[in-house]
Structure 1
Amino acid sequence: MSGPRYRVELADLAAHRYRVTLTLDRPAAEQRLHLPVWIPGSYLVREFAKHLSGLTARQGQQTLAVEQFDKAGWLVRCSDQPRAKPLVLSYDVYAFDASVRTAWLDAQRAFFNASSLCLRAVGREGEPHRIELARVPRGWQVATEMRAAQPVQAGAFEAADYDELLDHPFEIGPHWQGEFTAAGVPHRVVVAGAWPSFDGERLLADVQRICEAQIAFWGGAPFERYSFLLWAVDDGHGGLEHRASTALICARRELPTAAEPAAPGEAYTRLLGLFSHEYFHAWHVKRLRPAEFAQFDYQRENYTELLWCFEGFTSYYDELFLRRAGLVDAPRYLKLLAASVNGVLNAPGRRVQPLSAASFEAWTKYYRPDENSPNTTSNYYAQGALVALCLDLSLRARKSSLDALMQRLWVTSGGGPVSEHDILAAVRALAGDETATQLQAWVHGTDELPLRELLTAHGVDWRDDGRQGVAQRLGLRVRESALTGVQVSHVLTGGAGEAGGVQARDEILGCNGWRLRRLDEALFLLTAGETRLRLLVSRDQRLVELDVDLPPALAAAVGLVPSAGAQPARRRWLGA
């Protein structure tokens, strides 16, 4: 093999250090190298180069100078003689980031995405790339969907090009793994860090049902094998999709045990929703994807206005497939949907930032939230999922469905890039100009979505659920406990708290002369008919007194339940 070759050594487990050696035959006279600054699927410049150190270069016995020309780019001036020796670069990478996007190494586990470890040799991206693992501890297993190198060599793998190299994460360690077949396709679930009570067979059986439902939806699998690479930790939750695998992280309490009821509990349901979400991405993002992502630029932001579709629509289908796979019933699904509705309705930013802008600005806003984010930003995951719901119900009123739209886009694009124009054209073909125009307004405008009307028309009642607590009545988001007291994390635009002068980062110490440990205790400090709260807050070591008017309690949330006596056809989208 004459393409770039990487030797990845698990060099120092205690110091969390990989040692990488890149060998490049026939280097350019001025060979440029880059390390990516981001990884596809996670729209934030993460500066992976900050963990690279000790970069050296040689040809044969000659040591060459390495010139750094930008934050993640290097230049090596090589001999241009036809019989010159290969260029060999060596460097260390520190790996102690507990996420699915980067790299990790310790005495229990190794994990990496090649975007964190493997320099890109400019001009050689289209050639086959090879990875050889070295110094893997005895008894550790290697899990990846990158194909084994030919001829077969232990610990050696190869990819067709640099893009494919970056699309196959590695999970290495003494992990648990199990297999199942869905629609004739082999699947593997790998779990690192699980409790001894973990019920792997239950997880395999439930995930198999999700996979079979999604393969049937799309009309076949676009991969020959698939792996779920899950790391269980004390606290965490997330995933990153790849073309034939996904890297996942969850809290251990989300894993099923022998005590898990037949109907999944709340924590386990959340985990199954994560599996469903990332698996759906194998079609919708990895193949069917924004036109702007037809070719990635790994050295800078890649902008698109379509994350409301590719992340938002996936977020609609992830829990819907739990229903379709029979893992939750209709009332339970509606409870999950109501949680999404309430999350969106409780963020004033939905009336400020259109979803198209939220998609485009993900690089600077979604992944870098602050105390004002709920007031100025919309969530292309959750709000995009509600656009998908509205579009689905609107299409169904016209004898079509979002299913039909997704499948049409898959066929017409050949499972490849699409633009907003393509999406709107498909909507017009299924339901006419009016529906396409409405979709444009939902995505590029900030008016409220017609959720209540559409759900009611499709056999779901919209009901008030509970009464607001003091924080909601004041338009505050707080963190509170008996030990830490009441800490204000967010002040929502237009709320009584904002009007009364409460600020994010305030600690609310007392009310009406009494010490507070929880904000709802303030209700016990008011006499009949009294609505004025005299708050004592700590702000940057100063004690500040504030007079805040407490508005009347409204419904705390929206509840969604199946309409009594509704015709089954009205709830066909719900599988009920």
Structure 2
Amino acid sequence: MIRALAAAALLASVSAPALAQNSAPAQTAPYTNTIPDARDIPYPGTLTLDIDATDTGRGIFNVKETIPVAKSGHMVLLYPKWIPGKHGPRGEIEKLGGLVIKANGKVIPWKRDPVDVFAFHIDVPAGAKKLDVSFNFVSATVGDQGRIVMTPNLASVQFFSLSLYPAGYYTRRIPIQAKVTYPDGWTASSAVDAKVSGNVYTYDKTNYDVLMDSPVLAGRHYRQIKLTDRVSVETYADTPEELAATPDQVQKLKNLVDQAVKTFGVEHYDHYRFLFSISDELGGIGVEHHRSSEDGTGLGFFTKWDEKVTSRNLLPHEYTHSWDGKFRRGADLWTADFRQPMRGSLLWVYEGQTQFWGYVLQARSGLVSKADTLEAYAGIAASLDNRQGRTWRPMGDTTNDPVISPRAPKGWVSWERSEDYYNEGLLIWMDADSVIREKSGGTKSIDDFARIFFGGRDGDYGEVTYTFDDVVATLNQVVPYDWHKFLDERVNQVSDRAPLKGFERGGYKLVYTDVPNKSTMRGGGGIDLSYSLGLSIGTKGISGVMWGSPAFDAGLTLADEIVAVNGQVFTADKLRDAVKAAKGAKEPIKLTVKRGSRYRDVAIDYHDGLRYPHLEKISEGEAGLDKLLQPK
């Protein structure tokens, strides 16, 4: 033992100077970006994709791709990184496997870029006319790996996960044709038409941009619901029973298209397909495309219609994006390829006004009743009005959230904020509508803005970009006002309160009563006490604590589990009853909470009873908000 210690000491004395001399890292060569920038020139040749989507048991897509080349030498192949509709670098590069690139029948070594890991460098050998690329996309099989896109009965085929493209070109200048093999007996739907031979769909030749914007929904159980000669709901489900839409439900979907076209004046597509999945196995989704949308809900959309009210906003929201976000797109969000970063400074228009129109159109079409729409508005208004994060973080800064934290869970949403441009954008446009009505003496409304801003040639599905000043100019075209100041204050400045004047000018105000709000009621044993105790309970315990609330002041967090209420075993009903009993009393509500293996007692000094948000009418007769929600 003594000898060992002595040897260790000797080693330390010898090693220390050597380590000191070499403590500075060796100089490395500076990184040189050898990835060519995209240019607006045609690509010399047509890419072809051959996708095997039959391995539904393991969720593996096998891809063969042919990429023509015009010359030898250095070349870069890119995997789509910045995904439209996700507003951030959300390409699932981690799921790409087995990449092999060949030319003239021989394997070409590839090297991943050390900075942009979505880029692969190769050297094209002399005489090569094309590259033969093969890889697989190993999709998620459990929820913590990402969205599940393949099940035994359904598949969501997103081409941006299943292709590479050559750097140096605008992607809209790269021709491509795709072929997909599905399981026997399946049907597939996409905005790009296809020739079908058995279980093989060969899609029409198009450009890379359009194909990436035209995903496929495929499955075993399928029903097409025609809404007009140009619009259909391509419906797929886990079981055939889930496809049973009633005539009344179909009529409400037809009303949605009718009301949208009357609102915007034209249709910016040759045809539009809702790619609608009803499944508890395929991952839920809501992503916009120009001539389609990916819309995924849980079971019961048609069969449990009265229980699924809140899920029905998905279709009008994504449909509105065909005009707002796809046809009209923020200038700093438009990019030449999928490598160039997207900037979302105008997402309060792209998503915020789409959120606004989604709720308006659900009411105008009867897809959701006016009463339920008002309840949803109240829930949105209360959430943002009680969000203390607004005192330090402007709403406009939340347009960076898709990059900062792409929908990752946050512990203190009411303080950190999270993509508030959706719902606070809705409130801003509600406010704008009320100002237009007021300044025009009721002769104009936000509908006039929509017909100007989102109008144009019917059937044109090109893209028209806009800036902040373009939005201001169009509003001034509707009614003169200091719209620049109006928007700047609401988008770029902090505030103590949410912009709720639109409801008040529209004849309603936000109030709180002890009657639960239907849009925020929680099933499965959950309970929403956000505006009383300042906490909500989900199926797995505390799901939210409002910053600055009584629950916050008592030290509660999402990590805590409530095990007892006033000395009795916890249930949601007992907690609700305790809040009611404490109204006007002196004794606090006593909770026993568990965090890990530790228990502690917590006293919440709250005595104002149950509080749930609602909109209360404050004007006589038909008010502005009533008119806004009326069918056209």
Shared fold per TM-score greater than 0.5: yes
The Cα of 1:474 is off from its aligned counterpart by: 2.9
In structure 2, relative to structure 1, the CA distance for the partners of 1:463 and 1:492 (3 Å cut) is closer
Within a 5 Å distance, the mapping from 1:528-539 to structure 2 comes to: 529-539=585-595
Q: Residue deviations 1:121-140, cap 9 Å, x none?
A: 22353221011123x22221
1:437 aligned to 480, 485, 490, which one?
485
The two structures have a TM-score, normalised by structure 2, of: 0.80
Equivalent residue letter for 1:12: D
Within a 5 Å distance, the mapping from 1:324-473 to structure 2 comes to: 324-365=364-405, 367-377=407-417, 379-399=420-440, 400-411=444-455, 416-447=464-495, 448-451=497-500, 453-460=501-508, 462-466=510-514, 472-473=531-532
Q: Residue deviations 1:229-285, cap 9 Å, x none?
A: 1111238754111111111110112x223x85xxxx351x43432111111100110
The 8 Å contact of residues 334 and 561 in structure 1, kept in 2 or not, is answered as no
The 8 Å contact of residues 491 and 502 in structure 1, kept in 2 or not, is answered as yes
Structure 2 residue 109 is matched with structure 1 residue 69: no
Comparing 375-384 and 140-149, the one that deviates more: 140-149
Corresponding residue for 1:196? Answer: 241
In structure 2, relative to structure 1, the CA distance for the partners of 1:460 and 1:532 (3 Å cut) is closer
Corresponding residue for 1:494? Answer: 548
1:208 aligned to 224, 235, 254, which one?
254
In structure 2, relative to structure 1, the CA distance for the partners of 1:572 and 1:492 (3 Å cut) is closer
The Cα of 1:16 is off from its aligned counterpart by: 1.3
2:66 aligned to 16, 23, 26, which one?
23
Larger Rg: 2
Comparing 52-61 and 35-44, the one that deviates more: 35-44
In structure 1, runs of 5+ residues without a counterpart are none
**Helix, strand or coil: the match of 1:305?**
coil
Q: Residue deviations 1:12-44, cap 9 Å, x none?
A: 222211111111122552221111234211134
Q: Distance in 2 between matches of 1:475 and 1:167?
A: 41
1:115 aligned to 160, 170, 190, which one?
160
**Helix, strand or coil: the match of 1:221?**
coil
Q: Distance in 1 between matches of 2:577 and 2:112?
A: 59
Q: Distance in 2 between matches of 1:121 and 1:80?
A: 18
1:298 aligned to 320, 338, 341, which one?
338
The two structures have a TM-score, normalised by structure 1, of: 0.87
Structure 2 residue 255 is matched with structure 1 residue 225: no
**Helix, strand or coil: the match of 2:564?**
strand
Corresponding residue for 1:12? Answer: 55
In structure 2, relative to structure 1, the CA distance for the partners of 1:541 and 1:41 (3 Å cut) is same
Q: Distance in 2 between matches of 1:46 and 1:569?
A: 40
In structure 2, relative to structure 1, the CA distance for the partners of 1:492 and 1:328 (3 Å cut) is closer
**Helix, strand or coil: the match of 1:386?**
helix
**Helix, strand or coil: the match of 2:290?**
coil
The 8 Å contact of residues 516 and 522 in structure 1, kept in 2 or not, is answered as no
Q: CA RMSD in A?
A: 3.2
Q: Distance in 2 between matches of 1:311 and 1:333?
A: 18
Structure 2 residue 597 is matched with structure 1 residue 574: no
**Percentage of pairs with the same residue:** 20
**Helix, strand or coil: the match of 1:231?**
strand
**Helix, strand or coil: the match of 1:104?**
coil
The 8 Å contact of residues 111 and 121 in structure 2, kept in 1 or not, is answered as yes
The 8 Å contact of residues 49 and 64 in structure 2, kept in 1 or not, is answered as yes
1:239 aligned to 286, 306, 321, which one?
286
In structure 2, relative to structure 1, the CA distance for the partners of 1:461 and 1:361 (3 Å cut) is closer
The 8 Å contact of residues 63 and 136 in structure 2, kept in 1 or not, is answered as yes
Corresponding residue for 1:274? Answer: 314
Length, aligned pairs only: 557
